[in-house]
Amino acid sequence: MKTKTKGWGDPLVFAPVIMIVALLGPLIAGLAGVLLPAFGFFPSLGGDQFTFSYLQDVTHKPGFWQSVRLSIWIGVATTFLSLVIVVSSFASQWGRNSFRRITRFISPLMSVPHAAAAFGFAFLIAPSGWLMRLLSPWATGFSHPPDWLIINDPAGNALLIGLVLKEIPFLFLVGLSASSQINVDERLKVARSLGYGRVWSWFTVVFPALYKQMRLPVYAVIAFSSSVVDVALILGPNFPPMLPVQLLHWMNDPALEMRFVAAAGAVWQLGATLVALLIWRIGEALIAYIGRRAAINGQRHRNDRWFRVTATTAMSAVVVIFVLSLIVLTIWSIAGFWRFPNALPSSFTLSRWANNASALWVPIVNAISIAMTSTLISLVLTIACLENEYRHNIQFTPNAMRILYLPLIVPQIAFLFGVSVFLVRYGLDGSFWPVALAHTIFVLPYVFLSMAASFRSFDLRYLQVATSLGASQNKALLFVRLPMLMKPILLASALGVAISIAQYLPTLLIGAGRVPTITTEAVALAAGGDRRLIGIYAMVQTLLPAIGFVGATLLPRFLFPNRKFFR
């Protein structure tokens, strides 16, 4: 646009720069803060010699290689299982009523924090869990919980399933938004009219284009599940644990010498996640090769009923298990006495809620203020960047978009430890602002990605009308564009709040344990096993983001009660 604000006179032109610095600054500093000690440099601890010894020593820690293998396995397997279930559901149910029903359930499930979902799942499948209670004694014959190791099993199967449960809603929504960009119905019509079966059509003509759009979020899932801490503490093996859990123990070790070991371990974590990503890349190439050959051999694969039934059942089972997990959390939070094989507690009570109300207060206030702060910063930066695109005709290149995903693909534990090392050095750890800013690194990408499409597809003629009526660009932004985009902005805010509330590691490492939030407190209860107390914390954890989403849906109607546009 030819306008007066072209050039450096408009402060908006700095927005993309600020955003890139906000995302990459901590990432690079954090990686430096891990790499230097890992190779022996840590001047304040007397480390001034380049050495490989820490990287070697750490591999001799008991169970180390098992931890590494577990991380790689969980990263790849979680992603593979989740993606298979999601795409099979898309292939089988796209355009059907059952698809719409599942979609309605999936969006709220996406906002449930990982830790809360993991607790609920544990309460469901544990030997003394709800499933066993529902089946006992009439089906199992048990009058006491069996002595089985279901959760915290050494192979990490409970962890794997728990993560799959939580990643499916995410990948489902990613798939949904990718589908809206590639004309799925047209593609399907073409293939089906050539005589191909419904499922096969989807896999041959929709999936390749869809996966291209989903690739970065999928990588984020690999990286996340190969380096997850909170879910691993709740569902994962105890010894040897997943590598990130082991790292957290070393990072929290009071012996300063352990800093070198922890840093060296973090470098191995980077390696483990990288290996998981590499395995995935090879798998991608393999499937593309096989898929291309299978697509052109002329087979129509019309008989796909068995596939559709299986896929629909699997997807429905995921939703049912997730919902049951949330129900059992609720029951435990208000349970009175609950003897083993009984399906329900003999009484319900709110006394534990009342007793813990004062203890809950600080973590709730912290969680909300951190979430609000990081979301607000992310919103302002996102709007500034997107408005700058319009005013100065700058488009984010695909490479710039990849920067948004970097904080989601580099394992949190690997670079946040480095950041905390710097903060400790300058006495900045353990206070509100560093924690809120650390959250912003992970909230900003989601806020940006969730808002970008609707901001960019806004009918620019509204702005031209406003401007030609004499409004300045800022007035047009403030009084026309932002109010009209209120719905997507509020939804992005609710998403940002949900992401922030669920954050465990940034709060713990940057807050140095002195900024407790509902999530850090909930995860800390994992070892104790007080199910009623865990139920209460996990419920609060689930409710906070849910309130955000409900508020985001209702607010436009409340602010503009008589406008068809917001209905």
Partner 1 sequence: MSDTKTENALCLENVRLFHDGSKLLDLNVTIQPGEVVTVMGASGSGKSSLLNLISGFLPPSFSYTGRVVLDGLDITHADPADRKVGLMFQDPLLFPHLSVEENLLFGLPAKGDKTERCEKVRAALGAVNMAELGHRDPLTLSGGQQSRIALIRVLLSEPKALLLDEPFSALDSGLRDKVREFVFAQAKIKNLPTLLVTHDQLDADKSGGQIITL
Tell me: does residue 157 bind partner 1 (CB under 8 A).
no
- The answer for residues whose C-beta is within 8 angstroms of residue 549's C-beta and 6 or more apart is 108, 111, 491, 494, 498
Nearer to partner 1, 61 or 391 (CB): 391
**Helical H segments across 457-485, by residue range:** 460-468, 473-476, 482-484
CA distance 413 to 401: 23
Tell me: does residue 489 bind partner 1 (CB under 8 A).
no
CA distance 244 to 276: 14
Please identify, among the stretches 135-143, 276-284, 381-389, 462-470, the one whose residues bind partner 1 according to the rule CB under 8 A: 462-470
Given candidates 64, 353, 458, 566, which one binds partner 1 under the rule CB under 8 A? Answer: 566
CA distance 492 to 265: 35
Residue 458 CB, nearest approach to partner 1 (Å):
12
Given candidates 466, 494, 525, 533, which one binds partner 1 under the rule CB under 8 A? Answer: 466
Tell me: does residue 486 bind partner 1 (CB under 8 A).
yes
Looking at the DSSP bridge assignments, the partners of residue 42 are 47
Tell me: does residue 456 bind partner 1 (CB under 8 A).
no
x/- mask, partner 1, residues 366-405, rule CB under 8 A, reads ---------------------------x------------
Tell me: does residue 457 bind partner 1 (CB under 8 A).
no
**Would you state the structure tokens that stand for residue 9, as one six-digit string?**
């006179």
Q: Which of 329, 267, 185, 262 is nearest to 509 (CA)?
A: 262
Nearer to partner 1, 215 or 487 (CB): 487
CA distance 324 to 131: 9
Which amino acid type is present at position 104?
A: R
Q: What angle do CA 445, 103, 188 make, to 5 degrees?
A: 95
Given candidates 41, 432, 458, 560, which one binds partner 1 under the rule CB under 8 A? Answer: 560
3-state secondary structure 405-418: HHHHHCCHHHHHHH
- The answer for residues whose C-beta is within 8 angstroms of residue 52's C-beta and 6 or more apart is 39
x/- mask, partner 1, residues 310-329, rule CB under 8 A, reads --------------------
Tell me: does residue 1 bind partner 1 (CB under 8 A).
yes
* b/e code 96-131 from CB counts within 10 Å (16+ = b): eeebeebeebbebbbbbbbbbbbbbbbbbbbbbbbb
- The answer for residues whose C-beta is within 8 angstroms of residue 375's C-beta and 6 or more apart is 443, 447, 493, 496, 497, 500
Nearer to partner 1, 155 or 465 (CB): 465
Nearer to partner 1, 431 or 467 (CB): 467
CA distance 386 to 377: 14
Tell me: does residue 467 bind partner 1 (CB under 8 A).
yes
Which amino acid type is present at position 380?
A: V
Tell me: does residue 479 bind partner 1 (CB under 8 A).
yes
* Strands (DSSP E) found in 416-470: none
Given candidates 154, 291, 483, 516, which one binds partner 1 under the rule CB under 8 A? Answer: 483
Nearer to partner 1, 65 or 462 (CB): 462
- The owner of tokens 């997107």 is 386
Q: Are 90 and 175 within 8 A, CB to CB?
A: yes
Please identify, among the stretches 40-48, 172-180, 213-221, 466-474, the one whose residues bind partner 1 according to the rule CB under 8 A: 466-474
The H-or-E segment that residue 42 falls in is strand 41-42
Please identify, among the stretches 28-36, 211-219, 349-357, 467-475, the one whose residues bind partner 1 according to the rule CB under 8 A: 467-475
Residue 484 CB, nearest approach to partner 1 (Å):
6
Tell me: does residue 553 bind partner 1 (CB under 8 A).
no
Q: Are 465 and 476 within 8 A, CB to CB?
A: no
Given candidates 480, 512, 536, 538, which one binds partner 1 under the rule CB under 8 A? Answer: 480
Given candidates 4, 60, 293, 339, which one binds partner 1 under the rule CB under 8 A? Answer: 4
Nearer to partner 1, 44 or 472 (CB): 472
Q: Between residue 335 and residue 354, which ones bind partner 1 under the rule CB under 8 A?
A: none
Residue-level length of the chain:
567
Tell me: does residue 470 bind partner 1 (CB under 8 A).
yes
Q: Which of 380, 362, 352 is nearest to 539 (CA)?
A: 352
- The owner of tokens 């123990």 is 249
Nearer to partner 1, 257 or 459 (CB): 459
- The answer for residues whose C-beta is within 8 angstroms of residue 325's C-beta and 6 or more apart is 117, 120, 121, 123, 124, 165
Given candidates 462, 529, 547, 550, which one binds partner 1 under the rule CB under 8 A? Answer: 462
Tell me: does residue 562 bind partner 1 (CB under 8 A).
yes
3-class state of residue 348 by DSSP: strand
Tell me: does residue 422 bind partner 1 (CB under 8 A).
no
Please identify, among the stretches 7-15, 183-191, 292-300, 478-486, the one whose residues bind partner 1 according to the rule CB under 8 A: 478-486
Q: Are 198 and 308 within 8 A, CB to CB?
A: yes
**Residue 153 phi, psi (nearest 5):** -70, 145
Please identify, among the stretches 338-346, 365-373, 475-483, 507-515, the one whose residues bind partner 1 according to the rule CB under 8 A: 475-483
Residue 539 CB, nearest approach to partner 1 (Å):
36
Tell me: does residue 9 bind partner 1 (CB under 8 A).
no
Tell me: does residue 305 bind partner 1 (CB under 8 A).
no
What is the total count of residues that contact partner 1 (CB under 8 A)?
29
Given candidates 288, 294, 469, 547, which one binds partner 1 under the rule CB under 8 A? Answer: 469
> Under the rule (CB under 8 A), what is the footprint of partner 1?
1-4, 393, 459, 461-462, 464-473, 479-480, 483-484, 486, 560, 562-566
